[in-house]
Amino acid sequence: MSLVLGLLSHTLSRVLRYSGLRRGCHAPRRRAMEQDKALEVYDIIRTIRDPEKPNTLEELDVVTESCVQVDEIGEEEYLVVIRFTPTVPHCSLATLIGLCLRIKLQRCLPFRHKLEIYISEGTHSTEEDINKQINDKERVAAAMENPNLREIVEQCVTEPD
Protein backbone atom coordinates (compact mmCIF):
# COMPACT_ATOMS: atom_id res chain seq x y z
CA MET A 1 0.00 0.00 0.00
CA SER A 2 2.78 2.47 0.86
CA LEU A 3 4.47 1.67 -2.48
CA VAL A 4 1.26 2.55 -4.35
CA LEU A 5 0.86 5.78 -2.37
CA GLY A 6 4.50 6.68 -3.05
CA LEU A 7 4.10 6.12 -6.78
CA LEU A 8 0.83 8.05 -6.81
CA SER A 9 2.41 10.95 -4.92
CA HIS A 10 5.42 10.98 -7.24
CA THR A 11 3.21 10.89 -10.35
CA LEU A 12 0.93 13.62 -9.04
CA SER A 13 3.85 15.90 -8.18
CA ARG A 14 5.28 15.47 -11.70
CA VAL A 15 1.91 16.24 -13.30
CA LEU A 16 1.54 19.37 -11.19
CA ARG A 17 5.10 20.49 -11.89
CA TYR A 18 4.79 20.14 -15.67
CA SER A 19 1.32 21.69 -15.78
CA GLY A 20 2.54 24.77 -13.89
CA LEU A 21 -0.14 24.33 -11.21
CA ARG A 22 2.25 23.52 -8.41
CA ARG A 23 3.07 26.37 -6.08
CA GLY A 24 6.35 28.00 -7.05
CA CYS A 25 6.11 26.82 -10.63
CA HIS A 26 4.30 29.88 -11.95
CA ALA A 27 7.53 31.62 -12.94
CA PRO A 28 7.84 30.13 -16.46
CA ARG A 29 4.19 30.85 -17.24
CA ARG A 30 4.39 34.35 -15.74
CA ARG A 31 7.59 35.07 -17.67
CA ALA A 32 5.92 33.96 -20.90
CA MET A 33 2.97 36.25 -20.16
CA GLU A 34 5.34 39.16 -19.49
CA GLN A 35 7.11 38.49 -22.81
CA ASP A 36 3.73 38.43 -24.60
CA LYS A 37 2.85 41.76 -22.99
CA ALA A 38 6.24 43.19 -24.04
CA LEU A 39 5.57 42.20 -27.66
CA GLU A 40 2.12 43.75 -27.39
CA VAL A 41 3.71 47.00 -26.16
CA TYR A 42 6.29 46.91 -28.94
CA ASP A 43 3.59 46.43 -31.58
CA ILE A 44 1.92 49.61 -30.30
CA ILE A 45 5.04 51.82 -30.26
CA ARG A 46 6.85 50.61 -33.36
CA THR A 47 4.51 52.49 -35.70
CA ILE A 48 4.97 55.90 -34.06
CA ARG A 49 6.32 58.31 -36.64
CA ASP A 50 9.48 60.33 -36.10
CA PRO A 51 8.65 64.06 -35.71
CA GLU A 52 11.24 65.10 -38.33
CA LYS A 53 11.42 62.20 -40.76
CA PRO A 54 8.81 60.19 -42.67
CA ASN A 55 9.99 57.01 -40.91
CA THR A 56 8.66 55.09 -37.94
CA LEU A 57 10.62 54.74 -34.72
CA GLU A 58 11.10 51.06 -35.58
CA GLU A 59 12.59 51.87 -39.00
CA LEU A 60 15.06 54.28 -37.38
CA ASP A 61 15.97 51.77 -34.61
CA VAL A 62 14.82 54.27 -31.99
CA VAL A 63 12.74 51.42 -30.54
CA THR A 64 13.38 47.68 -30.80
CA GLU A 65 11.80 44.61 -29.25
CA SER A 66 14.62 44.48 -26.72
CA CYS A 67 13.94 48.03 -25.50
CA VAL A 68 10.63 46.96 -23.93
CA GLN A 69 10.49 45.27 -20.54
CA VAL A 70 7.28 44.24 -18.78
CA ASP A 71 7.13 42.92 -15.21
CA GLU A 72 4.07 41.90 -13.26
CA ILE A 73 3.81 44.08 -10.14
CA GLY A 74 0.40 43.01 -8.90
CA GLU A 75 -2.59 40.99 -9.85
CA GLU A 76 -3.21 41.92 -13.50
CA GLU A 77 -1.01 45.03 -13.18
CA TYR A 78 2.30 45.49 -14.96
CA LEU A 79 5.33 47.77 -14.92
CA VAL A 80 6.19 48.72 -18.50
CA VAL A 81 9.70 50.11 -19.01
CA ILE A 82 10.75 51.52 -22.38
CA ARG A 83 14.36 52.46 -23.13
CA PHE A 84 14.57 54.23 -26.47
CA THR A 85 17.64 55.33 -28.39
CA PRO A 86 17.63 58.71 -30.16
CA THR A 87 19.19 58.75 -33.61
CA VAL A 88 21.95 61.17 -32.50
CA PRO A 89 23.36 62.05 -29.04
CA HIS A 90 22.20 65.67 -29.30
CA CYS A 91 18.73 64.94 -30.76
CA SER A 92 16.60 68.00 -30.04
CA LEU A 93 13.38 65.99 -30.38
CA ALA A 94 14.16 63.26 -27.85
CA THR A 95 11.71 64.75 -25.34
CA LEU A 96 9.01 64.86 -28.01
CA ILE A 97 9.68 61.22 -28.93
CA GLY A 98 9.36 60.25 -25.26
CA LEU A 99 6.10 62.20 -25.06
CA CYS A 100 4.76 60.39 -28.13
CA LEU A 101 5.65 57.02 -26.60
CA ARG A 102 3.87 57.92 -23.36
CA ILE A 103 0.71 59.28 -25.03
CA LYS A 104 0.33 56.34 -27.42
CA LEU A 105 0.79 53.78 -24.65
CA GLN A 106 -1.58 55.60 -22.29
CA ARG A 107 -4.22 55.48 -25.01
CA CYS A 108 -3.65 52.01 -26.38
CA LEU A 109 -2.48 49.64 -23.66
CA PRO A 110 -5.37 47.28 -22.86
CA PHE A 111 -4.08 46.30 -19.40
CA ARG A 112 -3.44 48.13 -16.11
CA HIS A 113 0.08 49.43 -16.04
CA LYS A 114 2.65 51.76 -14.61
CA LEU A 115 4.76 53.31 -17.33
CA GLU A 116 8.42 54.38 -17.18
CA ILE A 117 10.17 55.75 -20.24
CA TYR A 118 13.89 56.40 -20.41
CA ILE A 119 16.53 57.24 -22.95
CA SER A 120 19.00 54.36 -23.22
CA GLU A 121 21.96 55.07 -21.00
CA GLY A 122 24.78 56.94 -22.69
CA THR A 123 22.86 57.70 -25.91
CA HIS A 124 21.97 61.36 -25.33
CA SER A 125 23.87 64.34 -23.96
CA THR A 126 21.01 65.44 -21.63
CA GLU A 127 19.40 62.07 -20.89
CA GLU A 128 18.89 62.72 -17.16
CA ASP A 129 16.92 65.92 -17.76
CA ILE A 130 14.84 64.35 -20.51
CA ASN A 131 14.12 61.24 -18.40
CA LYS A 132 12.78 63.50 -15.63
CA GLN A 133 10.58 65.43 -18.05
CA ILE A 134 8.99 62.44 -19.78
CA ASN A 135 8.23 60.68 -16.49
CA ASP A 136 6.71 63.72 -14.77
CA LYS A 137 2.90 63.58 -15.08
CA GLU A 138 2.48 67.32 -14.55
CA ARG A 139 4.99 68.22 -17.26
CA VAL A 140 3.37 65.74 -19.66
CA ALA A 141 -0.08 67.21 -18.96
CA ALA A 142 1.25 70.75 -19.45
CA ALA A 143 2.91 69.79 -22.73
CA MET A 144 -0.32 68.27 -24.05
CA GLU A 145 -2.17 71.52 -23.27
CA ASN A 146 -0.01 73.30 -25.85
CA PRO A 147 -2.05 73.09 -29.10
CA ASN A 148 1.00 73.12 -31.40
CA LEU A 149 2.74 70.36 -29.46
CA ARG A 150 -0.48 68.36 -29.21
CA GLU A 151 -0.90 68.54 -33.00
CA ILE A 152 2.65 67.25 -33.57
CA VAL A 153 2.10 64.39 -31.10
CA GLU A 154 -1.19 63.48 -32.83
CA GLN A 155 0.54 63.35 -36.22
CA CYS A 156 3.23 61.07 -34.80
CA VAL A 157 0.96 58.64 -32.94
CA THR A 158 -1.90 58.39 -35.43
CA GLU A 159 -1.82 55.15 -37.40
CA PRO A 160 -1.50 55.65 -41.16
CA ASP A 161 -4.61 54.76 -43.16
pLDDT tens digits, one per residue of 18-36: 554 444 555 677 778 888 8
Looking only at the bridges linking them, the beta strands covering 77-84 and 112-119 are parallel
Q: What percent of the chain has pLDDT over 90?
A: 67
Summarize the confidence of residues 133-139 as an average pLDDT.
95
Residue 134 and residue 99 in contact, taking contact as beta carbons nearer than 8 Å: yes
Is the full-model pTM beyond 0.75?
A: yes
Q: What is the pLDDT of residues 57-89, one digit of tens each?
A: 999 999 999 999 999 988 889 999 999 999 999
Domain residue ranges in the chain: 27-157
Please state whether 68 falls in left (phi above 0), alpha (psi between -120 and 50) or beta.
beta
CATH architecture of 27-157: 2-Layer Sandwich (3.30)
State residue 130's pLDDT score. 94
- Would the pLDDT of 148 be above 90? yes
- Would the pLDDT of 108 be above 80? yes
Tell me the one-letter amino acid at 59: E
